[in-house]
Amino acid sequence: QAQLVESGGGLVQAGGSLRLSCAASGRTFNGYGMGWFRQAPGKEREFVAAISWNGGRTYYADSVKGRSTISRDNAKDTLYLQMNSLTPGDTAVYYCAATGGANYASASDYGYWGQGTQVTVSS
């Protein structure tokens, strides 16, 4: 059974950094675009960042651009999200997802989702 499993979330102070990981199991997602989304309490799930199948193209939401880096290691079937200069506004459950499509910013384009990892940023 194909699975995406996120890790690396936790509690961090404002201004700190976190590196999220998303490991694939059960099948490879090397030929898929991958993305990170987040959902804060009472809010809709929103796009954070995405990367093409070979890592050649990356996309970021304006809210994280310049302080976050998405990357992937296809040899390890693992996706990463490095987040710096975190603010309380970044507090959310972060999900990784895989898509065979090209509309990377749209959650509806993704067919595989992880269970999420909580990121909490204290002020």
Q: Mean pLDDT over residues 85-112, rounded?
A: 95
State yes or no: pLDDT of 110 exceeds 90.
yes
State yes or no: pLDDT of 28 exceeds 90.
no
Say what the pLDDT of residue 9 is. Answer: 97
Closest by CA to 85, choosing from 67, 103, 71, is: 67
- Model confidence over 31-89: pLDDT tens digits? 999 999 999 999 999 999 999 999 999 999 999 999 999 999 999 999 999 999 999 99
DSSP per residue, 63-77: TTTTTEEEEEETTTT
C-alpha separations of 18 from 44, 50, 86, 91 in Å? 22, 17, 8, 12
CA geometry: angle 49, 64, 97, nearest 5 deg: 20
Say what the pLDDT of residue 49 is. Answer: 98
